[in-house]
Chain A
Amino acid sequence: MKAVGAGGEVAIKGVGDFSPEPTAARASLRRLWRLKWGMAAAALMLLIVASAVLAPWLAPYDPLAVDIQHRLAPPVWMDGGTPKHLLGTDQVGRDLLARMIYGGRVSLIVGVTAVLISATIGVLTGLTAGYFGPRVDWLIMALVNVMLSFPFVLLALAVIAVLGPSLLNMIIVLAVADWPLYVRVIRAETLAMRERDFVTAGRALGMSHARIVFRQIFPNLVSVIVVIATLQVARVIILESFLSFLGLGVQPPTPAWGNMLGEGRVYMLNSWWIAAFPGLAIFVTTLAINLMGNALRDWLDPHMKL
Chain B
Amino acid sequence: MRRYLARQLVQLVVVIVGISMLAFAILHVIGDPVLLLLPQNAGKAEYERYHKLLGLDKPIYVQYWKFASRAIQGDFGKSWYTDTPAFRLVLQRMAPTIYLTLAGLVMALLIALPLGIVAALKRHSFVDNLCTMIAVAGQAMPIFWLGIMLIIIFAVRLKALPASGYGTWQHFLMPAFTLGAFLAPLTMRLVRSGVIEIMNMEYIKTARAKGLGEWMVVVKHAFRNACIPVITVLGLQFGQLLGGAIITETVFAWPGVATLTVESIRNQDFPVVQCAVVLLALIIVSVNFLVDMIVGLIDPRIRVGA
Complex formed: what's the CA distance from A149 to B281 in Å? 8
**Nearest Cβ in chain A — how far from B214, in angstroms?**
16
Q: Does B111 reach chain A (CB closer than 8 Å)?
A: no
**Smallest Cβ-Cβ distance to B268: which chain A residue:** A161
Residues of A within 8 Å of B15, CB to CB, are 142, 145-146, 149
Complex formed: what's the CA distance from A163 to B26 in Å? 9
**Smallest Cβ-Cβ distance to B200: which chain A residue:** A15
**Chain A contacts with B in 264-302, Cβ cutoff 8 A:** 264-265, 268-269, 272, 275-276, 279-280, 282-283, 286-287, 289-291, 294
Q: Is the CB of B281 within 8 A of A279?
A: no
**Smallest Cβ-Cβ distance to B274: which chain A residue:** A158
Contact among A149, A150, A286 for B142, CB-based, below 8 A: A286
Contact among B31, B142, B156, B266 for A283, CB-based, below 8 A: B142
**Chain A contacts with B in 100-155, Cβ cutoff 8 A:** 142-143, 145-146, 148-155
The interface residues of chain A, by DSSP majority, are classed as: helix
Residues of B within 8 Å of A283, CB to CB, are 140-142, 145
**Nearest Cβ in chain B — how far from A79, in angstroms?**
15
Q: What 1/0 mask marks residues of chain B from 225 to 259 whose CB sits below 8 Å from any chain A CB?
A: 00000000100100110110011001100000000
Q: Does A190 reach chain B (CB closer than 8 Å)?
A: no
Complex formed: what's the CA distance from A286 to B149 in Å? 17
Q: What 1/0 mask marks residues of chain B from 21 to 45 whose CB sits below 8 Å from any chain A CB?
A: 0110011001100000000000000
**Nearest Cβ in chain B — how far from A265, in angstroms?**
6
Q: Is the CB of B285 within 8 A of A17?
A: no
Q: Does A97 reach chain B (CB closer than 8 Å)?
A: no
Residues of A within 8 Å of B136, CB to CB, are 6, 287, 290-291, 294
Q: Is the CB of A287 within 8 A of B156?
A: no
Q: Is the CB of A246 within 8 A of B18?
A: no
Residues of A within 8 Å of B152, CB to CB, are 268, 272, 275-276
Q: How many residues of B contact A (CB 8 A)?
A: 60
Q: What 1/0 mask marks residues of chain B from 149 to 171 whose CB sits below 8 Å from any chain A CB?
A: 10110001000000000000000
Q: Is the CB of A149 within 8 A of B284?
A: yes
Q: Does B62 reach chain A (CB closer than 8 Å)?
A: no
**Smallest Cβ-Cβ distance to A280: which chain B residue:** B145
**Chain A contacts with B in 2-28, Cβ cutoff 8 A:** 2, 4, 6-8, 10, 12, 15, 17
**Smallest Cβ-Cβ distance to B141: which chain A residue:** A283
Complex formed: what's the CA distance from A234 to B141 in Å? 10
Q: Is the CB of B200 within 8 A of A17?
A: yes
Known: A150-B239, A287-B137, A290-B140. Is A10-B149 also a contact (CB below 8 A)? no
Q: Is the CB of A268 within 8 A of B151?
A: yes
Residues of B within 8 Å of A287, CB to CB, are 136-137, 140
Residues of A within 8 Å of B281, CB to CB, are 149-150, 154
Residues of A within 8 Å of B140, CB to CB, are 234, 283, 286-287, 289-290
Q: Is the CB of B246 within 8 A of A153?
A: yes
Q: Is the CB of A10 within 8 A of B273?
A: no
Q: Does A261 reach chain B (CB closer than 8 Å)?
A: yes
**Chain A contacts with B in 42-91, Cβ cutoff 8 A:** none
Complex formed: what's the CA distance from A291 to B243 in Å? 24
Q: Does A210 reach chain B (CB closer than 8 Å)?
A: no
Q: Is the CB of A2 within 8 A of B148?
A: no
Complex formed: what's the CA distance from A275 to B142 in Å? 13
Complex formed: what's the CA distance from A8 to B281 in Å? 34
**Nearest Cβ in chain B — how far from A67, in angstroms?**
24
Complex formed: what's the CA distance from A165 to B218 in Å? 52
Q: Does A232 reach chain B (CB closer than 8 Å)?
A: no
**Nearest Cβ in chain A — how far from B28, in angstroms?**
10
Q: Is the CB of A162 within 8 A of B19?
A: no
Closest 8 CB pairs of A and B: A279-B145, A151-B243, A287-B140, A146-B18, A162-B31, A161-B265, A8-B132, A286-B140
Q: Would you mind naming 17 contact pairs between A and B with Cβ atoms under 8 Å apart?
A: A146-B14, A150-B281, A151-B243, A158-B277, A162-B31, A163-B31, A241-B142, A245-B144, A247-B266, A248-B265, A261-B144, A261-B148, A279-B142, A279-B144, A282-B142, A286-B141, A291-B136
B contact residues vs A (CB 8 Å cutoff) = 11, 14-15, 18-19, 22-23, 26-27, 30-31, 119, 124, 128-129, 132, 136-137, 139-142, 144-145, 148-149, 151-152, 156, 189-190, 192-193, 196-197, 200-201, 233, 236, 239-240, 242-243, 246-247, 250-251, 261-262, 265-266, 268, 270, 273, 277, 280-281, 284-285, 288
